[in-house]
Every structure is written in C-alpha cells, then in structure tokens.
Amino acid sequence: MRPTIVAGLDIGSSKTAVVIAEVSGDAPQRAQVKILGVGQARTGGIRREIVTDIEATTESVRKAVKEAELMAGVTVQKLYTGIAGEHIHAWPSTGVVAVGRGPGGDGEIRPGDVERVQEVARAVVIPGDRELVHAIPQEYIVDAQGGITDPVGMAGTRLEAEVFIVTGSATAGQNVRKAVTRAGYQVAELVLEPLASSLSVVSEDEKEIGVALVELGGGTTDVCVFHERKIRHLTSLPWGGSTVTNDIAKGLSLPYAEAGRAKERYGVARTDFVRPNETFEIPAGAAGQTRHVARELLAHIIEQRLDEIFGLVAAELDRGGFGGQLGGGIVLTGGGASLQGVVELAERSFAAPVRIGVPGDGLGGLADSVRRPKFATAAGLAIYGSRRALSDVPEGSAAAGASVNGVIKWMRDWISDFF
C-alpha cells in the first residue's frame, strides 16, 4: 500500500513540538512508522495547557510545523493535536444490550451488536460547555464472562461494554483548533496527551501488570494509571517545569528566561550529584556583568520542588488505591524527566521502580531525533495518527474487506494495540 504522511502536534506550556512520520502497512497492528521530520519552537500564549494568547500560540505552531516540514521534505495539512490540563475529566461508563438471534436461530454476536452496545455506553450526558474527546473501549462482557477484547463471533444473549469517557472544556478545544487553523493547518483530531505519550513510551506488558505514566510537562504534571490494559485513573496536577523555573528565578534573583537557561545547562535533580565547590556564571544586575552561583544551590531549589511534585503524585496514587497494582512501576516522561538525577529523586517518593520513558523503539527513519523524553507526546501523536490512518480505509477496498466496518475496526484495533 502507498505510504501515508501523518503529523503529531504537541502544544505545551513551554515548547511546541511536531513530529512528521510516514506510515505504511495494511492494519494498525502492523503499522510501520518512519520518522521523517521533527520541529520545535518556544511556546507563546499557553498557560497550564490553556490558550491565553491565540496569536502567540498560532506563531508557535507555525514555526514548529515549518521546521518539521523542512526536515521531512514534505508538507502536511492535518495535525493530530494533543490536549491536556486540569479541565480534562474522565470516568468509566458501561452499556448493555440483548444479543439478537441470527438467521440460523443462533445467538452469535455480530458487528451490529458491538456497535449498539458502544452507542449505549457512550450515551452519557455531557454539559454544553464540555466536549467529548474520547470514548475508549476497555473490555466486553458476554453473559457475565469478562476480559473479552473482541466478542464478534461469540455465542451469548447479553453483551456489555465498558468504555472510558474523556471530556474537556469546549472552549479550550475551540481555541486550540483556532490557533492551528490560523497557522494554516487543520486539526485532524484532538487526542489526550497522556494517552498519546503512552503509545510511544509504555509497553503492552507494563499496561497489563500495572504502570503509572507521570508526564512532567511545563505547566502541569499529568498522571495516567494502567492496569490489566485498562485506564484506571487520570489526573493533572497544576505544577510542572515552569513551577521549577519560577522557583529558580526567585531564588537566584534572575529573569524567567535566564532561570530557564540555567536549569537546562546546569540543573540537576539531586544536590548530591554536584560537587560543593562547583559554580556557574549568571548575569548580574548591571549590563555586561556576571556573578558566580553555587551549582549546589541551583540543585537544591530544583530538588525541593520536584520532590514536592513527586510527593503529590504518590499521594494521588495512594488515594486511588493503586500502590499495590504497579508491577510495571513508574514511567517518567516529558521535558522535566531529562534532568540528571530525576530517577533517583523519584524513587524516594514511590514504592515502585522508576524509569525514564523515551520514544524511539519500533520507529524507523530519523528515530534518533525523537529519542528524548520531551518528544514523547509528539511522537505518540504521530503513532496514534498512523493507526488512525490505517483503520480509516475506504469502504470496498481490500483492506476494508478484511474488517467489519471502519468504526468497529478502529475500536477493536484500539483495544488490541493500545490497551
């Protein structure tokens, strides 16, 4: 089949990242994703994942996409765009239908039954100021037998479906779409960022035995818990890398931009990772003058704030009762996960193993260009787009003939491949 071009757009509070990929294959589970280009720009007009200045956000999107297009040597029209933040709400929903008798008098479950039960499960009341982002199938239950990923062809009289409903602020979604449209592109689909990130950095085995994805973004820290390949918990804390930078700016009496540069160049997450006599230069009050600061002081500021954030995440996991369900441990990703010593610091807060989630495994092309935690979401959005592209095949084509229909095929692929 002819390769398809997809692009993922991550508009974060501190940076905007774009990943363009070429996807080929005849089914989502056999997708071959080849990275063609990566672009990034400093974000303007975003605060805690919410658009506050649409013109500045538009310019950030335009710069990042153009950079990725230049590297890839292709142009794109549609972008799978991430959405996250405190405005996201999620909960499980169930639906039940009776299985009709087929022409042969049997009670075989057919694609139409699956479609009906999905519609029932999705039939929830959503306020006018909110929009549905995802309705993700978790599992099917046939006559009280659970854990079924694809009930088509099974015998039964009662079919249940559990769906994970994700909604977001309608205004937040509209403003993201406006910024992308003004930049000259279209939003192919809004995708919850932690779910996209999990596609690029969390394995299926980890989702089965239990894992918490902790994404250290600029404005927020997003937490997504998986167990038995289901989403069990989703939350967003209003602290992230920008909070750390603010602390540095105050503690060292620096402008915010200089504080960010100091964090990137000299910052570590543990004070015992630097020598007491290490120093670095920062601008002084007078033009052209500098002053020396102990690197240990910078590390202390970073360590204190990150330790607090990890403590809040651990408390959130404990409140949800997930402490004993994380056989796969904690996966840290996002820009904040790049700091040296962050794993050792996190291990003090979590009674589970901790690792850094880096995209790149299973990707071809320029995979090394996304092999950093800060590209986890953008790479995951490209992977999501690739699976979407292979599931949305034209009716009547050879690929479509192997499927019951486009909608049901996508739902089944999501269960088998994503969860």
Per-domain boundaries in the chain: 89-168, 242-304
* DSSP-derived pairing of the beta strands 46-47 and 89-98: unpaired
Residue type, 152: V
Establish whether domains 89-168 and 242-304 are of one fold: no
Nearest-angstrom CA–CA distance, 242 and 46: 12
CB 409 within 8 A of CB 403: yes
Residue type, 88: I
Q: Which pLDDT belongs to residue 2?
A: 63
What Rg value do the Cα atoms of the chain yield, rounded? 23
Q: Which fold has domain 242-304?
A: Nucleotidyltransferase; domain 5 (3.30.420)
Q: Among residues 125, 145, 133, 137, which one has the least CA distance to residue 162? A: 137
Q: Which pLDDT belongs to residue 411?
A: 45
- Within its chain, how far is the Cα of 335 from the centroid? 13
User: Domain spanning 89-168 has what CATH number?
Assistant: 3.30.1490.110
Render each residue's pLDDT in the chain as its tens digit; 419 residues. Answer: 567 899 999 998 889 999 999 998 777 767 789 999 999 999 888 887 788 889 999 999 999 999 999 999 999 999 999 999 899 999 999 999 999 765 555 678 999 999 999 999 999 999 999 999 999 999 999 998 988 988 999 999 999 999 999 999 999 999 999 999 999 999 999 999 999 999 999 999 999 999 999 999 988 999 999 998 899 999 999 999 999 999 999 999 988 989 999 999 999 999 999 998 999 998 876 667 888 999 999 999 999 999 999 999 999 999 989 877 899 999 999 999 999 999 999 999 998 999 999 998 889 999 999 999 999 999 999 999 998 988 854 332 333 333 333 434 444 444 444 43
Q: Which pLDDT belongs to residue 1?
A: 53
Q: Among residues 269, 268, 249, which one has the least CA distance to residue 258? A: 249
Q: Which pLDDT belongs to residue 13?
A: 86
Which positions ≥6 away from 254 have C-beta within 8 Å? 248, 262, 282, 283
